[in-house]
Structure 1
């Protein structure tokens, strides 16, 4: 006996095509092919998609839904009047939901055009410019065998995808797949505009050894122009055409991604430059970049007169650290980055590196602090005097070192370039941060939580007080992105250039004295609580009083009571620098240890 299962396919808007499935709820119209044009989505009715806030990363989802390979360009087109559109939530799309599930109804005159590449694609990569190479022919995607593909073929693919030159070509780099495999050898000259325009071998290949699928990484199409070197100047990115990048909302952390894409070491300065008129620019979604995506994947089209200049340091860098001022030291020479051996590096050398990176003084110098790596190793001993402007300006030993003991790679932590000026001590005053030059910090949007980061970087404990002070005129300041700071980045990494008359003053807890605790009861009067404790009569009223010498107005005291099985916290506002905690009737449950801590007040605006 057997059971017969009948499988019925309902018409649900899905269409089988070759070795893939596409959705009929998404289309591109008005272009040269089904893979180029105005993006429209159907939810009841067909509507175009609003062009604001789109990046290549979202467009790649549309191309994938259409089985159209890779997204290679997006364009926001302004129409003469508004009409009904769909606005698409990018966070929803990036969570893995299809476009149709991420729509909200809206009206707009900004319409999105998308161009996909329907002949080649890179899959399973870390960006749209890397992955396992697949080629489409007769509606089927096929993996290319490494034996049929060389450097000149790679140059054609990277150019066709709108990426930079090939940087890595290695079999099985992005995973291995089953058949189908591409059956002919490509024979490109390197100047063709498309891979399928290249000549190919006359005979078909029947087999391809396991682990031989082509893995390709192209460099990102990013450049710095108009500066003193290829690692300094106006930041430009290519997506169809080369455009400068809008200078708003950039931080050093985001700029560091551009420096890394350019193999230019660390970002050491950013500057927002005003031009006389607006022009077409790329605006970069910083959340997209910090999630690990490449700059090109995070562009949106815009117009602006604010242009971004970036300076990278192409000679030394700190890697695998907790900030741009910490990590394992690497030095670049002859286009190679080499790790420095601890035996070849001392405190004076560290002072030069920290200054060159725009950081503060060295605070920790310890081998293998940020991981150990294989060769190459730097082969000479540095002999800095400590006042040089760059590590490679220092004298070095004449003889080369052949070996370096395991666990001896230099790990360096520099202090952050932060200071408080104009106060009674180094832990109080106007907050200033150095990024190229020292500037005060804009006083808007500050909380004690953000101020805590500044106090911690200064080794000044916790923030006690913040005050926004208005000056008579505007000047150049740093505005600090609080979300960036609270996510764990340092103040210097979260700066954007700004002008303001509002300046922030801070007081940190390093100035606070230990509170005095006294106990008064109806039985024993007033006594200062000693280490061995104080006694009160059962059921008598008692008061624990916390006080401190006058320093700052406002604030409060926290009293912590710890017994054998529990902990309780009590908070009272400070009045004349004193707070009293009243307990109506003493019971055995009140036996335990009491400690007091003064908490600062946020200053009046």
Structure 2
């Protein structure tokens, strides 16, 4: 459960922005790198001010936290529609100091935190959304462990413009750590793995949604939807990702009309 608060201000509407991610006990800060007005608006929503204005700046020397305090969020990139800051795209690692923490000021009537006391997000885990898991499959390959990578997003999940249909993954920023997590998502071997952009004739159909863009996994995530990613994309299906699990290269293939697929699901 995410928690949010403002620390050190004259009221509950201003101060150093702090956060506790799920499964963590210590409060930490948000880095000012790439932090903007849209992020500030979502941040104010997170701490209970949904209908006013939001302003932000970097903390002064007297406002910053301890250097031993963790920095949880960096390069935050909200679209503006997120219920709270923890749902925004962001970097998986930071390159910040305590002196770069975000200071936030919110106006408007205090309406309480996003879903309950102390800024706690009590919505369902992103692994299971409305009782439905994420699904992954490889399409069109000559073997069950290779093909075009596709994702089925649960109805109501974030970061998916169209739910209830299979979609593809864009190759922007996709790397070996992402391929490893993709294979783990499929319950396939992660001993060796490979990836590439699809060749002509291997891409998804023009009507398919593109689920993920700028995926940035650390390599340890249990499934691809747990990785940082951009919610909106700037891709075409000629940029779809193909993956092999248990082999270091992706053989060429031609996606058939009715593809044979290997489907895996992440449910816990």
TM score, norm. by length of structure 1: 0.16
Higher RCO (CA-CA < 8 Å; seq separation 6+): 2
